[in-house]
Amino acid sequence: MSEEKKEVLLIDDEPGFHELFRYLLEPLGIAILSAHDGLAGLKVSSQKEYAIIFLDVHMPNMPGTEVLKKIKEMRPLQRVVLLSSDSDPADELEEFSKKMGVDAFLEKPFHPDRVLELVQKIMGVPAR
């Protein structure tokens, strides 16, 4: 895995999650790139392939599901973890994600261990 690929993109309108992801992943040598709404996320994600894109479903300007479609159009192999809220209708979202080739689901509020597990699974980075 190249150094380049150690970059993770988080597209989420909630600044606190960016802080949390940095707190969790930077100690593992993973760089966190941030986008704070759907459109910005789409722009950043189109620039290159990331090790993982963590993509929130609920966002201003463009919903996560739309961003996901565009990303997968550009880069079908891009690994994506969808961040959803447990108030979402889980079944529809799950079906949609399967169809779109999403790697995993992370339901907010999540335990940080889940983030680390996913990172390890997808990127092969040791969790600790």
Partner 1 sequence: MGVTAWHLSRFSTKLIRTASLQGVTLYAEALREVRTLYTSEVVERVRLHGIPVTHDYAAKDGAIPLPATFSMELARRIGQQRGGMKARLYSEYPFPWRKAEGGPKDAFETEALEYLRRFPEASFYRFENFEGQLALRYATADRMRPSCVACHNAHPASPKRDWKEGDVRGVLEVIRPLDFLVTQTRNELRATFFLFGSLGLGGVLALVMLFLRLRDVNAGLERSVRERTAQALQSQKMAAVGQLAAGVAHEINNPLGIILGFAHSAVRRIKEDDSLAMPLRSIEREALRCKTLVQNLLLFSRQDKAQMVEFDLNETVTNTLGIIEAQARVNSVELSKELGAVASMMGDKNMVQQVIVNLCNNAIDAMPGGGKIVVRTGVVAKGDKIWTLLKIEDNGSGIPAEIQDKIFNPFFTTKEVGKGTGLGLSLVYEIVEKHGGTIELDSVVGRGTAFTVFFPPTDSALATKRR
Residues that bind partner 1 (CB under 8 A): 14, 16-17, 19-20, 23-24, 85-87, 89, 108-113, 115
Q: Which helix (H) or strand (E) holds 91?
A: helix 90-100
Nearer to partner 1, 7 or 88 (CB): 88
Instruction: Pull the structure tokens for residue 127.
Output: 């969790």
Q: Beta partners for 118?
A: none
Q: Smallest gap, in angstroms, from Cβ of residue 76 to partner 1?
A: 30
Closest approach of partner 1 to the CB of residue 106, in Å: 10
We find the least distance from the C-beta atom of residue 15 to partner 1, in angstroms, to be 9
Nearest CA to 53 out of 111, 12, 109 is that of 12
Nearer to partner 1, 16 or 124 (CB): 16
Least separation in angstroms between CB 22 and partner 1:
11
Residue 14 DSSP symbol? -
Pick the closer one to partner 1 by CB: 74 or 127.
127
Contact 56, 80 (CB under 8 A): no
Closer to partner 1 by Cβ: residue 73 or 91: 91
End-to-end CA distance of the chain: 18
Q: Reduce the DSSP state of residue 76 to 3 states and report it.
A: coil
